[in-house]
Amino acid sequence: CSVCAMSNTPCHLPTGKLVPLPIPQRPWSHIGVDFVTNLPNSEGNTCILVTVDRFSKSCKFILLKGLSTALETAEHLFQHIFRNYELPEEIVSDRGPQFISHIWKAFFKLGISVNLSSGYRPQTNSQTERKIQELRRYLRSY
């Protein structure tokens, strides 16, 4: 009824507008990163850092002994991605503790924009999430 509609106050703040990510113009200029965790132990590796190029959909899988800290994650990216290609313009990641620390704020000083996905919205980093689905399906086969 109209009385109830006027007297009930909303419990949530209005959601912000979704803004599409920019379209990359060259390979490895815009990347998405995320972790695959809780994997069975394989030669001491239990975690994978997944990096996806949003331009070409190419991906790199970095095997890890366990879930990395923010510093270790940055070191892996420099060693395996940035060294072979170049510094990206943008990195998209979830809000994991590895991606929201002061170390990642240092990427801004290098001219890299770090975009964090909204909470409970994996669609923001959908290309990376899709590659993780494919990787998990592949790993289940073996």
- From first to last of the 142 residues of the chain, give the pLDDT tens digit: 777 766 776 666 666 666 777 889 999 999 999 999 999 999 999 999 999 999 999 999 999 999 999 899 999 999 999 999 999 999 998 888 888 888 888 888 888 988 887 666 667 778 888 999 999 999 888 7
Q: Token match 């994978």: residue? A: 48
**Rounded CA separation 80/85 (Å):** 9
Do 112 and 86 meet the contact criterion of CB atoms below 8 Å apart? no
- Helix axes 102-109 and 70-77, enclosed angle (nearest 10): 40
Task: Give me the pLDDT at residue 119, please.
Answer: 65
Task: Give me the pLDDT at residue 109, please.
Answer: 84
- The verdict on domain 26-140 having CATH code 3.40.50.2000 is no
Q: What predicted TM-score, i.e. pTM, was given to this entire model?
A: 0.81
Task: Give me the pLDDT at residue 120, please.
Answer: 63
Q: Where are the domains of the chain?
A: 26-140
Task: Give me the pLDDT at residue 11, please.
Answer: 65
Task: Give me the pLDDT at residue 52, please.
Answer: 95
Q: How far is CA 133 from CA 4, 30, 32, in A?
A: 45, 20, 14
Task: Give me the pLDDT at residue 80, please.
Answer: 95
Do 91 and 124 meet the contact criterion of CB atoms below 8 Å apart? no
